[in-house]
Chains A and B, each alone.
Chain A
Amino acid sequence: MRMNGFRRACVAVLSASLISLGMQAPAAAGVVGTAEAIASQDSNARAVVDATLARADVRAELERMGVNAADVEGRLDALSDAEVATLAGQIGEAPAGGDALAVIGIVFVVLIILELVGVIDIFKKT
Chain B
Amino acid sequence: MRTTANGVKLLLAMSAVTFAAWAIQAGPGQGIHYGPWMISPYVDESGTYDSNINQDSANARDDYFLNSEVGVRASYSAYMIEANALGYGGYRSYADTSDKDFGSGGEIVGVKYGLRERVLVQADESFRHVSDVDTHGSETAIGGISADSVLDAATRAKRDLSHFGASLGRDMTEKVEMDFGYRYDAARYDEAGLANLVGHNGQLEGAYQITDKSAAFATLFGGLQKNSAVDDAADYYGVRLGAKTHGTDKVSIKAGAGVEQYDRPSGTGDNVTRFNFDAQAVWVLTDKVLLRAGGRNGTLMSSILTDNASDYTVVWAGAVYRMLPTVALSLSGMYRIDDYIDPVTLPDGSSEDRQDKGKGLRARADYQTPASFMSLYAETSYEAVDSNVNNYDETRVSIGANLKY
B is bound to A = no
B residues in contact (CB < 8 Å) with A:
none
